[in-house]
């Protein structure tokens, strides 16, 4: 995976640089996607062009799936597929909240084997490669070993937190509302938190890179039913997210069911 990681890192860095220029300029268009699927900005589109161009040039035989491009179903016939979210956390981007990332994943035979997450606002870079572990801004990292809900750090959806979904656990665990599912999974992977979870459905481009990092870091990642993810599916929507350090995964799934 040396070349794959090198290409993914450079593509993510170039995309992040383009996003940062637009972010700092504060002069960009914001549109609403059809069907209430959230905002779309010039930064999403610029990042998408950079990522898809770089990946297609380096690995022309691999499939591609991106949030901001039409789904080419020929990907279903490929054993290797790059799954990208050019800007996960677009809402936070538009609000000036530095909780958004460029997300790049490589899936092989439905299994996430490589993930790169780059936060353009903070400069954080998280990588995960199957069998090689994770890095946080170039330094080796791993998930925590904290075994219980008591005292655990949970990264949760800002909107779900605002609805009071986590009130029974206030004072038991440390709850931090945050944007971007991919970013939250990445922070769990490198030991900045014990878990992130939601019963809401999320798409493969939201998940693949973060899940790759969690698994590479020694953690566990499943859908809301506790089933391992299988990516590059005809329908990219998966029901529920549970990414943890592994030690308290079953306990978190129990919280989700309750």
| Domains annotated on the chain, with CATH | 2-141 (3.30.540.10), 153-257 (3.40.190.80)
pLDDT of residue 29: 86
Q: What gap in Å lies between CA 136 and CA 83, rounded to an integer? A: 21
Q: Which residue has the tokens 């700092």?
A: 24
Three-state SS annotation for the chain = CHHHHHHHHHHHHHHHHHHHHHHHHCCCCEEECHHHCCEEEHHHHHHHHHHHHHHHHHCCCCEEEECCCCCCHHHHHCCEEEEEEEEECHHHHHHCCCCCEEEEEEEECCEEEEEEEECCCCCCEEEEECCCEEEECCEEECCCCCCCCCCCEEEEEHHHHHCCCCHHHECCEEEEEECCHHHHHHHHHCCCCCEEEECCCEEHHHHHHHHHHHHHCCCEEECCCCCECCCCCCCCEECCEEEECCCCHHHHHHHHHC
Q: How far is CA 228 from the centre of its chain?
A: 16
pLDDT of residue 36: 61
Structure tokens at 58: 């380096």
List the one residue out of 31, 181, 190, 179 whose CA is nearest residue 103: 181
Q: Residue 189 pairs with which residues in a beta bridge?
A: none
pLDDT of residue 56: 97
* pLDDT digits 0-9 by tens, 181-216: 999 999 999 999 999 999 999 999 999 999 999 999
* pLDDT digits 0-9 by tens, 146-184: 999 999 999 999 989 989 988 889 889 999 999 999 999
pLDDT of residue 224: 92
Three-state SS annotation for 106-120 = EEECCEEEEEEEECC
pTM confidence score:
0.96
Q: How do the pLDDT tens digits run along the chain, 258 residues long? A: 999 999 999 999 999 999 999 999 988 888 887 666 778 999 999 999 999 999 999 999 999 999 999 999 999 999 999 999 999 999 999 999 999 999 999 999 999 999 999 999 999 999 999 999 999 999 999 999 999 999 999 999 998 998 998 888 988 999 999 999 999 999 999 999 999 999 999 999 999 999 999 999 999 999 999 999 999 999 999 999 999 999 999 999 998 888
């Amino acid at each position: 995976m040396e070349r794959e990681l090198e290409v993914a890192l450079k593509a993510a860095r170039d995309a992040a640089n383009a996003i940062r220029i637009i972010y700092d300029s504060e002069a960009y268009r914001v549109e609403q996607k059809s069907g209430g699927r959230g905002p779309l900005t010039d930064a999403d589109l610029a990042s998408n062009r950079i990522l898809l161009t770089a990946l297609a040039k380096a690995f022309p035989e691999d499939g591609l799936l991106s949030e901001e491009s039409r789904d080419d179903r020929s990907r279903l016939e490929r054993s290797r597929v790059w799954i990208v979210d050019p800007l996960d956390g677009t809402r936070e981007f538009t609000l000036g909240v530095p909780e958004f990332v460029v997300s790049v994943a490589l899936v092989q035979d439905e299994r996430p084997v490589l993930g790169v997450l780059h936060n353009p606002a903070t400069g954080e870079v998280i990588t995960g490669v199957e069998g090689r572990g994770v890095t946080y801004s170039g330094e080796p990292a791993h998930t925590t070993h904290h075994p219980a809900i008591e005292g655990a750090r949970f990264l949760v959806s800002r909107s779900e937190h605002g609805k009071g979904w986590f009130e029974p656990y206030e004072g038991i665990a440390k709850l931090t509302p945050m944007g971007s599912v991919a970013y939250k999974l990445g922070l769990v992977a490198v030991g900045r938190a014990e878990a992130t979870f939601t019963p809401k459905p999320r798409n493969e481009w939201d998940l693949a890179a973060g899940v790759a990092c969690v698994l590479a870091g020694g953690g566990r990642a499943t859908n809301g039913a506790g089933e391992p993810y299988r990516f590059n599916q005809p329908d990219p929507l998966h029901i529920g997210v549970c990414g943890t350090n592994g030690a308290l995964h079953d306990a978190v799934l129990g919280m989700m069911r309750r």
